[in-house]
Amino acid sequence: MLRSLSGRFLILTIIFVMLAEVLIFVPSIARFREDYLLDRLERAQIASLALLADDMLTSELEAELLKNAEVFNVVLRRDEVRQLVLSSPIPVPIDATFDLRDPGALTLIRDALVRLVDPGNHVIRVIGAPLREAGLLIEITMDSGPLRAAMIDYGIRILILSAVISIFTAVLLFIAVRRFLVVPIRGVVGSMQRYAEAPEDARRIIHPGAAVTELREAEEALHKLQTELTHALKQKERLAQLGGAVAKVSHDLRNILTSAQLFTDRIEGSEDPLVRRMAPKLVGSIRRAVSLCESTLAFGRAEEPAPTLARVRLADIVADVLDSERLAEDSQNISFAEDIPAMMTITADPEQMFRVISNLVRNARQAIASSGKAGEISVSAEDTDDDWLIRVADTGPGLPPKARDHLFQPFQGGARKGGSGLGLAIAAELVRGHGGTLDLGHTGPQGTSFLIRLPKGDGAL
């Protein structure tokens, strides 16, 4: 129980309430001492007034008055005359004098604590003002032993009452904490445990319903987290199923493309000029398709294979990409432009770099075509001291908000309506494999641009 939240809260409540009672106890015991001494002054004054009223009191009656007042002597000052009204033998010399006519709070607290810790029985002198202006001053001598005993008795009663109050308060707070905090928290923990048993089951997602604001905010955050996790798990399951289907399709497609590659070898020997000009591009496309199928079949982890780096002319890769895109049916109203230095060479995997630029250009073409307006796609490059910079820009309608929020995340929103977002995710992963970055330059109604940054030097190798 002590290790639980409610148990520790119970112990802390008792400790804090007792601490508060102790802070109240100190001025209370000082006030009790003052009242005790003032009561003795009042009794002594009454006894002295009785003597003044009848000057013929016997010594036995005088001793009885002093005993009832619990004092040894009573001195009363009236009309500037100091008069010993009642007296009896004092057993020991006077140890201390206390003036109660105008005491300070700190003085009262100090004197009370000193008397409380001093076990000795001393004779003390107490000075006060007479009640109802019955004189200028009243002074008594008395034992301190009864005073200390009364203070201890009062303190014990105060401490017992404080303990009862603190325990009663702690029990009430314990019940309240269990009702309003511990029980709802256990409900949240139980919901988390049930969800952990089957996170794919959307019925086990927590439904916020706590009355406490902070706990409800925690439930809402947990609800959002569980919803996103369930969605991600279902998506991963679909991706796993898709991966199996793609592997089967790639296996059969590779066989078909291998046969097509054999036919293209025959076409290369044709005498027709048009065939001779188009045959190399057809051969290159089929070769890339076969390579992609083989990579898919060898795909054993969630990342692209490491690039095979070589020195390649960027202009040749860009020309192959643009020639392929010009053949698309929806490219009639789209113009393609390139601004690549003719002798510019980069260190990259030519097949993977072709896929990167091809994905970016294809996305741009599809975005312009979906808008129903004419547009332009341009590919430019520049050579800096540290990097090769390749920019793919278009004059299309810009990326939709969902694509901007989930840029480079597969199946989280494509660059066009109905797109899967795989193209940008693949391109970004391939560029990272080269040690570079793929960033969104700008997007809007005026168009979109992406910047590929490939590092030079040993880092690229």
Label residue 410 by pLDDT band (50, 70, 90): low
C-beta of residue 18 within 8 angstroms of C-beta of residue 162? yes
Tokens 């400790």 label which residue? 15
Q: Which SS3 state, helix, strand or coil, does residue 73 take? A: strand
At residue 459, the pLDDT reads 45
Band (314; pLDDT cuts 50, 70, 90): very high
Q: Which residues contact 62 (CB under 8 A, 6 or more apart)?
A: 51, 86
pLDDT, averaged across the chain: 78
pTM over 0.85: no
For residue 458, the model assigns a pLDDT of 54
Residue type, 61: L
pLDDT-derived band of residue 233, with 50, 70 and 90 as boundaries? confident
Banded model confidence at residue 301, pLDDT cuts 50, 70, 90: very low
The Cα 447–Cα 392 span in angstroms is 11
Cα–Cα separations (whole angstroms), residue 183 to 8, 178, 179, 205, 224:
15, 6, 6, 19, 22
Window from 77-86, 101-110, 117-126, 149-158 with minimum mean pLDDT: 77-86
List 313's β-bridge partners, or say none: 345
**CA pair distance 421, 87, nearest whole angstrom:** 108
In which order are the strands placed within the sheet that holds 375-383?
334-339, 375-383, 387-394, 447-455, 437-444
d(CA 461, CA 454): 11
Q: How far apart are CA 7 and CA 453, in angstroms?
A: 60
